[in-house]
Amino acid sequence: MKQKFLYGFAVLAIAVVAAWNVNLSSKGSGLSDLALANVEALAGGEGDEKFADVTCTEIDSWDQEKHILIKMIVVTCDGEGEKECQC
């Protein structure tokens, strides 16, 4: 009787672990939207995309309230050509 109880308990434990594993695997990759966006951004530069015209514009802006200088670089890439889209 005791051996049947232990056998039944072992079968039940295996079934619970298997069900839990199926539940975890059905939830997806577990990556947040931000992590997925980062992966896509990093993978975006791996193609053979080249451009005909690359324009880099520096913009300086003074924030009066915070007393800081904000520097921005705007990169514009147009057409198809032999230039990489970077400054």
- Residues with Cβ within 8 Å of residue 31, at least 6 apart in sequence: 39
Confidence of residue 27 (pLDDT cuts 50, 70, 90): low
**pLDDT tens per residue across span 64-87:** 888 888 888 888 888 887 888 888
pLDDT of 58 over the 80 cut: yes
pLDDT of 31 over the 70 cut: no
pLDDT of 22 over the 70 cut: yes
Structure token digits, residue 85: 């889209």
- The residue ranking higher by pLDDT, 28 or 56, is 56
Residue-averaged pLDDT of the chain: 78
- Of 84, 86, 87, which Cα lies nearest the Cα of 50? 84
- Residue entry with tokens 């308990």: 9
Q: What is the DSSP string of 2-69?
A: HHHHHHHHHHHHHHHHHHHHHHHHTT-----HHHHHHHHHHHHTTS---EEEEEEEEEEEEETTTTEE
Please report, rounded to a whole number, the percentage of residues in the chain having pLDDT higher than 90. 0
pLDDT of 55 over the 60 cut: yes
